[in-house]
Structures are given as C-alpha cells and as structure tokens.
Amino acid sequence: MRHSRIFIAAAVLAASLPAFAAEIPPNERRSDYELMGPQTRAIQDDDTANPGMLWVLDGEALWNARAGAAQKSCADCHGDAKTSMKGVAARYPAYSEPQHSPIDLEGAINASRVTHQQAPPFAFEGKELLALTAYVALQSRGTPIAPPADPRLAPFRAEGDKLFHRRQGQINLSCAQCHDDNWGQKLAGAVLPQGQPNGYPLYRLEWQSLGSLQRRLRNCMIGVRAEPFAYGSPENVELELYLMWRARGLKIEAPAVRP
C-alpha cells in the first residue's frame, strides 16, 4: 500500500515538473543525514548502536584473512588499513588502466582479489563484498569527497550527468527532478533527500541490511518503473562517478544509517 501511494504521488509530481532541473549550489549541498529525524541520527552517531558496524567487523576479518591460490591477505600488501586506506573511499570511482574505464570501490576490491589473491570475485551485494567495502570506507570517515582530477574520467562523468538528468520509466521522472529540484519536500509523507552518496555502503532501516550505492540506484529506477541497470554495469558506475563529483566536499560517513 505504501509503495502504491508513493507511485501515485511520484506520477503526479513528474507531470508537474519542468524537463530540466537546476544543480544544487555548493553552499546548499547537504548530507542526507541532515534531513533525518533525531532517532535515526542517534543510531548512526553511536558505533555501538549502528548495525553497519557488524559488517565492518566482518570486513576487518576479511582484510586480514589469506585467500585464493596466492594465499595473500589485503594486509599483506596494504598493511594497516587505518593508515593505508585513509581517504581512499573519498576518491572513488577512479580510472582503471586495465579496464580503460572508471571503477568504483567495490570493483577495485574485486579486481585486487582476482589479480593479487588469485581468488574469485565476491558477488555484488553479497555479505563479503559489502563487509570489506564497509571496512575500507570506514577508514575515510570524516574525509571530504575529492574526485580525482583525471581528464580520462570526464567523458564517463558526462554520461553519468546525462543519466541523472534523463527522464525515465513509466513515471517519466529523472533523478534530478526529485533530488535537485525538490529536496526537502515531502513525497507521500517521506522527505526527499538530495540523494548524496557519502554514506555508502550504509544500513537502511527499510532494508534491515547494509547495501551499496548501486542497490539504491536500482531501487530508485524500480520506483519510477524503469528497468534497473545490472550490478557492475558501466551505467551504474557512471552514475556513481557523477554523484561523487556532485557531492564533492561532503564528508564520508560510511557506514551511515538511513531510513
């Protein structure tokens, strides 16, 4: 019933909005944390209450566990994550030389696992990949997002920009029309956030689980009755690349908590 109300409200909203949305000025960028209620903020603020920290503990164990034919651990190459991984999550997606395209943090972890540990990649949205990503991302908590100044990323970021501003699905609604033009407003009783990516992977109360930014992107596409992009697809990574550029300067909160 709740999803039906949101569908109807979104359809009404889409019909009344202009085709192009204005980008949020830098001084008005807000973490989605700022639009949450005090109870949800309190969960995120207390690591002993934040359910995402359970995945972090598993991620720390994976960081130190030897795996694959090489019988190497992440720590064997990178040492103490608290120093070697500090700031890393704030700089992804980054350009991958072997792939000749951007790669997000999850993709980089899997690439390292295949190349250096000679182990099969973790499944997208599986417990292991979420756990290791959360552990790595935690080391950047409080670090401002600083997308790489790599000109090779420019065409991919431009594609992500187009996807963010393109109307899609049966509702004919773009990401920008909700998250740029109408953030802070309510849709079927829920506050529309800016859709900033600085908390991922995060624990979503609706999911009762940790989830990646790609999971959230897919959920939004399903919400507007569009065909979601596959996990790991170039389109999802291009959207992530654009969203991190759009959020530049905001501080990493991973693992965040959201409603």
Strands 186-187 and 257-258, by their bridges, are unpaired
Which of 74, 175, 178, 220 is catalytic? The answer is 220
Helix-strand-coil percent breakdown of the chain, rounded to 5? 45, 10, 45
Ordered DSSP codes for 160-200: HHHHHHS-BTTTTB-HHHHHTTSTTSEETTEEP-----TT-
What is the DSSP secondary structure assignment for residue 117, as one 8-state letter? S
Residues 6+ apart with CB under 8 A from 146: 87, 90, 91, 248
Catalytic, 220? Answer yes
Is residue 223 within 8 Å of residue 174, measured between CB atoms?
no
Bridge partners of residue 187, in order along the sequence = 190
Residues annotated catalytic, as ranges: 220
